[in-house]
Amino acid sequence: MTDKLELNMNAYLPLRDVVFHTLREAILKGELKPGERLMELQLAAKLGVSRTPIREAIRMLEQEGLAVTIPRKGAEVAKMTEKGMEDVLQIRRALDELAVQLACDKMDAEGLKELRFAMKEFEDATRSGEVKRVAQADVAFHDAIYAAADNPKLMTLLNNLREQMYRYRVEYLKDANSYEALIAEHQKIFHCLKERDKERVVRASSEHVVNQENFMKNMIREQE
């Protein structure tokens, strides 16, 4: 386990939330690896808090599907199998389709403007070559759509599903070869939303997810 785990935000937040965010970050960044045990005492010592907030943070991580605990055995970082990823992506595909349909109905001029901005920023980001910036821009683009869908529960779910694949997605976005295709897909989605063409936007969104799925499957296979 990494030893650079450290609490950041001194904000006025319950420690359980601070611990939760810290561990979440660490898992998503890969500092805490899948299958690695999350031992309360160890984490508590490392983060300089007591076991109580650690335990509560772990319960919250379970919630997000980032950790799994076995009673009287402890918690560990959730593993992601290829099957598991397919399952998540199936769900994400269905919900992304829903989101774009809703956005198609509800997105206003303001929302479209933000979406266009996010799209441009994504294009700029790919040209800069900074992977982190690319990832953030991608998140922003999709968030703009989710926001327009005006369904907070849907937004939460989608962000959650995204998180569960984060580690793999970063690899995806590292591959500069995919940028062209991604930009084109984003443009298509944007265009369809602007034109309120619901059928086409659903297809576009679906393809977008399926492409990611295929890429990631290949990646996982290569890993082995």
What is the SS3 assignment for 35? coil
Q: What is the DSSP letter of 11?
A: S
In angstroms, what is the minimal distance from the CB of 116 to its own copies? 26
Is the Cβ–Cβ distance between 187 and 119 less than 8 Å? yes
Residue 57 CB, nearest approach to its own copies (Å): 9
Determine the 3-state secondary structure of 167 from DSSP. helix
63 binds DNA (CB under 7 A): no
Q: Which of 44, 139 has the CB closer to DNA?
A: 44
Identified binder of its own copies from the candidate list 6, 25, 87, 199, rule CB under 8 A: 87
13 part of the interface to its own copies, by CB under 8 A: yes
| Residue 51 is a binding residue for DNA (CB under 7 A) | yes
Q: What angle do the packed helices 40-47 and 15-29 form, to 10 degrees? A: 100
| Residue closer to its own copies, measured from CB, 90 or 218 | 90
Q: Which of 62, 121, 171, 207 binds its own copies (CB under 8 A)?
A: 62
- Cβ–Cβ < 8 Å for 220, 85: yes
Alpha helices by DSSP H, listed for the chain, are 15-29, 40-47, 51-64, 82-106, 109-128, 131-149, 152-164, 166-174, 177-195, 198-223
Nearest to 43 by CA among 53, 30, 33: 53
To DNA, the closest distance from the beta carbon of 9 in angstroms equals 11
**Quick one: which segment of 20-28, 40-48, 141-149, 190-198 binds DNA (CB under 7 A)?**
40-48
Site residues for its own copies per CB under 8 A: 13-14, 16-17, 52, 55-56, 59-60, 62-63, 65, 71-72, 84, 87-88, 90-91, 94-95, 97-98, 102, 151-154, 157
